[in-house]
Structure formats: C-alpha cells, structure tokens
C-alpha cells in the first residue's frame, strides 16, 4: 500500500491498525469458544467398545470407488473393507496435514507478541491438533487397517514447504487440508450407518475444526490485502499446485491392493467417475468460493485448480 500524501499515509496506517484490531477480536472470540467446546478424545470416546458388525467405517457414498462398475461387482463385504481402509488412509493424510500445520503455526507466531490473543489462539489450535493426531492414530488402530503414508516425494516436498512457505501460502494450504475433509466429516458424524467410534471422532473434529477454518480464513483474507505483490502471486501458484498434489494424494492407491482389487483399474475408474468428481467438487465448493472471493484463484493458479478436478 503506497501512499504519497500525508492524509494518504494516515489512512494507510489506520487501515493497518484496523486489521490488527480485527485480528485480536477474532482471536478473543475463538478463545472463548475453545474454552466452552473442547474435547479430550481419550476420555470422551469409548475406545474399548467392540467394532460393530454391519456398520461402515466411512459412508459408502464418500468411498472413492462408489457407483463405479468395479464397485457394482464388489461383494458387500469387500465394500465394507474398502471403506475401512479408506478411512485409515484419510486419517493418515489428516495426521500428515496436522503435523505440517503445527509447524506452520509455530513459525507463524515466532515473531509475534506472546501476550496477544492471536498468539494464544494459535497455541490453542496447536494443542487441538496434537489431540486430533493422537485420536486419528487410535482410530486407525481400532479399525485394524494399516497407516497409509503419502509418497516419499510428497513427504519430502512438504518437508521443504513447511520450512520455507510464506504466511499467506501456509494459510491457503491449511484451508485446503481442512475444508474438504471437514465437509466429508460433516456428513459422517450424523450417519447412523457408521461405526460409533468413527462418528465420535468426526464429531469432535468438526466442532474444533470450525474454529481453525475461521482463524485461517481471517488471516488469509488479511494477508491477501497486506502482503507484497510477489507474495500474493506466489500464493496463487503454490495453492494451485497444492490443490493438484492434494487431489492425487487424497486416497492412497495401496488401499485397492490391500482389499484385493486391481490397483491400476481402480485408479482409472475413480478418475473416470462422475460421482467422485461431484463429491470432490462439492467438498471443495465452500473453499473455492472463498478463495475466489479474496482473489486467490487467478491466472495460472486457477488453471492448476481446474486440473486438480476440485474446481468446476
Ligand atoms: Fe485437526
Ligand atoms: Fe485443524
């Protein structure tokens, strides 16, 4: 924001102060909400209850192969099995994201006032994510499926990203990781066909995650106004690239092999599935509308979003 006149400079300063005040007010509200609605999954959920017969680990409509020719040929037992493995795959992805996010948040607050509400809320969110990652790990163990790490390449790309990414880039990626999984979890926790433990895990996550999304959105909105031009351009590009990687890494294809399916064929059918495209685009809609609104979905970045299949 360049201003030449004295008046102009004053206006610029007032805007900046206004944004910081707004940042503190948002954080205060989020802290109040955290004090009222936070959960300890170890105590809150019954981890000793047996796995329920005839219940899904993930709603079938949200399973990648749903409604494909392959799905129609699968036995009911194999469908249940695939849902259980996909739940483990998504929980593994969730833990990966959360561990990245914790580091991004630590970096975000490193230079900020330790007594501000903004920093106190970031620390609260880190504590939330610590509990979530432990909760997801317990859920994977409970289901009896393995953990599904991302590819070595993505694992190492993220190692670089979480170390060097800019503030707006970090918050844009945070939203990508949080909002689509959140949309799926909002459909999962009220679903009576789903295992009680999975419903409990997703309910806790949805309640606490709503605050994380708010925090990241407000910060990204501010950053897209105040960050220098190169940083805004870089955010558009890196966020588009993250969307592309995310859409590929979303479900680990090893799940198909592990339930006795032809991995290549399964991946091809998921790619061709109109139902799946609709699920992923519906899941991303709230996020892409928001990103469009604050000017993240422009230029080459927008093309990357389109190629990810998440943007219609
Ligand atoms: Fe989380
Ligand atoms: Fe989160």
Res. 245 pLDDT band, cuts 50 70 90: confident
Between the CA of 103 and the centroid of ligand 2 the distance, in Å, is 12
Which ligand sits nearest to residue 185's alpha carbon? Answer: 1
- CA end-to-end span of the chain: 33
Contact 188, 253 (CB under 8 A): no
User: 116 in helix, strand or coil?
Assistant: coil
- Determine the Cα–Cα distance for residues 49 and 199; give it in Å rounded to an integer: 13
The angle, 0 to 180 degrees and rounded to 10, between the axes of the packed helices 76-109 and 117-143 is 160
Give the alpha-carbon dihedral of 123, 232, 288, 132, to 10 degrees.
-20
Identify the pLDDT of residue 248: 85
Q: What is the pLDDT of residues 257-307, one digit of tens each?
A: 999 999 999 999 999 999 999 999 999 999 999 999 999 999 899 999 999
Which ligand sits nearest to residue 135's alpha carbon? Answer: 1
Between the CA of 98 and the centroid of ligand 2 the distance, in Å, is 7
Length, in residues, of the chain: 312
Between the CA of 132 and the centroid of ligand 1 the distance, in Å, is 5
Between the CA of 67 and the centroid of ligand 1 the distance, in Å, is 29
Average pLDDT of the chain, as a whole number: 92
Between the CA of 192 and the centroid of ligand 1 the distance, in Å, is 23
Structure-token pair, residue 273: 């599935």
Which ligand sits nearest to residue 105's alpha carbon? Answer: 2
Between the CA of 269 and the centroid of ligand 1 the distance, in Å, is 30
Question: Is 31's pLDDT higher than 80?
Answer: yes
Q: What is the pLDDT of residues 139-152, one digit of tens each?
A: 999 999 999 999 99
Site of tokens 């708010």: 214
Identify the pLDDT of residue 34: 96
Q: What is the pLDDT of residues 89-128, one digit of tens each?
A: 999 999 999 999 999 999 999 999 999 999 999 999 999 9
Q: How far is CA 249 from CA 19, 57, 90, 196, 270, in A?
A: 36, 20, 10, 27, 13
Site of tokens 């469009």: 292
Between the CA of 264 and the centroid of ligand 1 the distance, in Å, is 31
- Determine the Cα–Cα distance for residues 58 and 84; give it in Å rounded to an integer: 7
DSSP annotation of 56 reads B
Between the CA of 185 and the centroid of ligand 1 the distance, in Å, is 11
65: number of CA atoms within 13 Å, CB side?
A: 29
Between the CA of 47 and the centroid of ligand 1 the distance, in Å, is 19
- Determine the Cα–Cα distance for residues 312 and 308; give it in Å rounded to an integer: 10
Between the CA of 16 and the centroid of ligand 1 the distance, in Å, is 30
Between the CA of 93 and the centroid of ligand 2 the distance, in Å, is 13
- Determine the Cα–Cα distance for residues 262 and 191; give it in Å rounded to an integer: 30
Between the CA of 74 and the centroid of ligand 1 the distance, in Å, is 33
Question: Is 11's pLDDT higher than 80?
Answer: no
Q: How far is CA 304 from CA 165, 245, 281, in A?
A: 18, 10, 14
Question: Is 9's pLDDT higher than 60?
Answer: no
Identify the pLDDT of residue 246: 87
Between the CA of 81 and the centroid of ligand 2 the distance, in Å, is 27
Which ligand sits nearest to residue 95's alpha carbon? Answer: 1
Between the CA of 240 and the centroid of ligand 1 the distance, in Å, is 22
Q: How far is CA 299 from CA 172, 243, 302, 305, in A?
A: 16, 15, 6, 10
Which ligand sits nearest to residue 214's alpha carbon? Answer: 2
User: 169 in helix, strand or coil?
Assistant: helix
Site of tokens 């998504």: 90
Between the CA of 157 and the centroid of ligand 2 the distance, in Å, is 20
């Amino acid at each position: 924001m360049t201003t030449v006149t004295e008046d102009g400079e004053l206006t610029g300063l007032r805007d900046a102060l206004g944004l910081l005040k707004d940042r503190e007010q948002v954080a205060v509200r989020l802290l109040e909400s955290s004090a009222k609605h936070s959960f300890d999954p170890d105590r809150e959920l019954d981890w000793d209850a047996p796995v329920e017969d005839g219940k899904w680990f993930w709603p079938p409509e949200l399973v990648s192969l749903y409604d494909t020719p392959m799905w129609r040929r699968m036995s009911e037992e194999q469908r249940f099995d695939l849902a259980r493995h996909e739940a483990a795959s998504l929980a593994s992805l969730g833990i990966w994201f959360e561990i990245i996010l914790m580091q991004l948040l630590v970096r975000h607050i490193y230079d900020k006032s330790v007594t501000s509400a903004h920093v106190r809320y970031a620390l609260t969110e880190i504590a939330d994510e610590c509990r979530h990652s432990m909760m997801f790990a317990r859920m994977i163990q409970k289901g009896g499926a393995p953990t599904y790490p991302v590819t070595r390449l993505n694992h190492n790309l993220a190692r670089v990203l979480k170390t060097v990414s800019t503030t707006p880039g970090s918050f844009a990626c945070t939203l990508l990781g949080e909002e689509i999984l959140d949309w799926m979890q909002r459909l999962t926790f009220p679903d009576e066909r789903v295992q009680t433990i999975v419903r409990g895990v997703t309910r806790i996550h949805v309640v606490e995650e709503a605050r994380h999304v708010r925090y990241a959105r407000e910060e990204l909105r501010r950053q897209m106004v105040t960050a220098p031009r190169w940083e805004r351009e870089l955010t558009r590009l890196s966020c588009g690239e993250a969307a592309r990687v995310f859409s590929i890494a979303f479900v680990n294809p090893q799940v198909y092999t592990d339930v006795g399916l032809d991995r290549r064929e399964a991946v091809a059918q998921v790619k061709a599935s109109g139902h799946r495209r609709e699920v992923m685009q519906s899941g991303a809609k709230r996020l892409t509308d928001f990103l469009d609104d604050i000017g993240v979905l422009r230029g080459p970045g927008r093309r990357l979003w389109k190629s990810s299949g998440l943007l219609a």
